[in-house]
A and B are shown apart, each in its own frame.
Chain A
Amino acid sequence: MSELSRTGYQTDKMWVTMGPQHPFSHGLWTLRVKVDGEYILDAEPEVGYLHRGWEKECENRTYAKIIPMADRLCYSASMTWSHLYCKVAEEALDVELPERAQYLRVIADEICRIQSHLMWLAALGTDLGSLTIFLWCLREREFFLDLNVRLCGQRLTTNYPRIGGVRNDMPYYFERDCMRVVTRFEKALWDIINLTDESTVFVNRLKGISYLTRKQVANLGITGPAMRGCGVDYDIRRDDPYAAYDKLDFEVPVLKEGDAYARYMVRIEEMFQSCELIRQAFNALQKIPKTSPYRLKVSRNIPEGTHMARIEDPRGDAMMYLVSDGTGSPYRLKVRSPVFVNVSASKAMLEGCRVADIPAVMAMIDMCLGETDR
């Protein structure tokens, strides 16, 4: 900050408290920033307003009852969280999923990823003061929520994966609907990109702010698109594959710039990749006979032991650590939320930015308080 500190006269620094009710904080959390005029010298996030003791609550429930609870960890990426929970339970039971369930989970996850990223882009639009981006993104997101309704009857809290498979096979014509939505979306996303990337104002708002190096990102534990925008080539879907991701061919977008714009670009490219994944998964599903099982019968009790599973959430690296004692409910279930760690790094991200950059920088970690506070 030395190049910013002025000589000759003394300026007063002040702490500004942003939140818990503030237009930029999408959810209930507080960011306290120390500013010198418009420059940020220090930042201190405060979370915990939504702490429900989720992990402790799970110790009180049977394994099956936790699936809908896992949905509630994040309102806009519920599918990946229930998937993650089912995955850790499956690892504990040591079962291999039926192939059909694997592909269905991939499809559901990628639908979830696209709609979560669209919610992020919409929020970024309002953060930068453009309501048009917001509404266009939400319009596109609506189609994916409709797909969720077709698949599992719910828009947001999907409750679709089950331990040992998925709740139901895909409905009639789901593939047709899905392909229509995806084809439409790939066009519509270009429309939105014309609003964002083609606008010098938008690009200038994001470019050159909040630089992070690869080392910093690794050390701070930032994960997800925010990490891949800083040059870390790491994606659990590809590097530690789960479900059917090892059978699908996709690219992991990685950019070396490390500023907010790179993080933005990574997310946009991820949406295109997700479309591609959905398409491939359907192609693969066609080769699997329709009568093949989509769900295994598994035991209610999970054998004693400790198990870890991780998954690529739209926001980053999600992990669950399950300690089971052989009974019908977990002994301890730890949730590693990507946003929880990403937000703890907000000081590194915000230092040297201007007050006007706070919404843009914080939008890049895509806050979701349900999983942060648990």
Chain B
Amino acid sequence: MPDDAMIEAPTRTDAEALIKGKFGSKVVFRETTKKNSKGDNEGRRLYIDTDRDTLYELCQYIHDRLNFEHIIAVTGVDWVDHMQTVYHIVNYLTAMVIEVTVDIPNDDPHVRSVTDIWEGANWHERETYELFGIIFDNHPKLERLLTPKSYEFYPFRKSYKLRGQPDE
């Protein structure tokens, strides 16, 4: 198989092997412990942890070679000691979802934007930016979307307390 050929509908094992072969130790595959939920049993989920330097390259590889055409969502999670962005990427032909998790340090919340790979990530990244303060480099228009432009805080961070939430 030539190195740059596109595999239209990779199975879970194919995808895992290919990504492992390409990125080696930069990616970590997580196994799921679920037994009853259907999706995992039928091999439609792949969980990958990676670092933020590899992310863009990995996404490009997934998109160009493995034919994962569609990004479902970009999610931000505030783990208090660090931030996290989660990407759910789907292949239309196998309906397989790759979940890529990237850790981001609190003091330097930058990550490469994937909007130029998937235009669909555009608003999700804007949303994650305004709610978590994670800055997506190379994003075409990183502005506040849902919250007013005058906000100077990031409401979905754990440091922002709601009424009724205990102060730690």
Contacts and interface: CB of A to CB of B under 8 A. Distances in A.
Given A47-B145, A306-B86, A341-B120, A90 B37 contact: yes
A95 interface: yes
A185 B118 CA distance: 40
- Place the interface of chain B in its size category: 35 or more
A57 interface: yes
Contact of B123 (A57, A59, A91, A341): A341
A220 B119 contact: yes
Nearest to A51: B146
Contacts of A129: none
A246 B146 CA distance: 37
Which of B37, B69, B156 has the most C-beta atoms of chain A within 10 angstroms of its own C-beta?
Answer: B37
A240 B39 contact: yes
B36 interface: yes
Given A48-B147, A218-B69, A334-B75, A321 B121 contact: no
B36 A310 contact: no
Interface stretch (A173-181, A229-237, A268-276): A229-237
A251 interface: no
B86 A91 contact: no
Given A47-B145, A90-B37, A241-B38, A308 B119 contact: no
B2 interface: no
Given A48-B145, A232-B92, A242-B38, A221 B75 contact: no
Contacts, number: 108
Nearest to B123: A344
Interface residues of A, number: 48
A218 B92 contact: yes
A241 B44 CA distance: 11
A3 interface: no
B103 interface: no
B73 interface: yes
Contacts of A48: 145-148
A59 B162 contact: yes
A8 interface: no
A336 B87 CA distance: 12
Contacts of A336: 72-73, 88, 124
B18 interface: no
Contacts of B73: 319, 321, 334, 336
Interface in B71-89: 71-73, 75, 77-78, 86, 88
Given A53-B155, A94-B36, A341-B124, A319 B72 contact: yes
Interface string B123-138: 1100000000000000
Nearest to B128: A334
Interface string A325-366: 000000110101000110011000000000000000000000
Contact of A220 (B34, B92, B95, B120): B120
Interface string A189-219: 0000000000000000000000000010011
Contacts of B36: 94-96
A56 B119 contact: no
Contacts of B148: 48
26 contacts: A48-B148, A53-B155, A57-B162, A60-B162, A60-B164, A91-B37, A94-B33, A94-B34, A94-B35, A95-B36, A96-B37, A220-B119, A221-B70, A236-B95, A308-B88, A319-B88, A321-B75, A323-B77, A332-B75, A334-B75, A334-B86, A336-B124, A341-B124, A344-B122, A344-B123, A374-B146
Given A321-B75, A336-B73, 18 more contacts: A47-B146, A53-B155, A59-B165, A94-B36, A96-B36, A219-B70, A219-B118, A221-B71, A221-B72, A240-B39, A240-B95, A240-B97, A241-B38, A308-B99, A331-B77, A334-B86, A336-B72, A345-B119
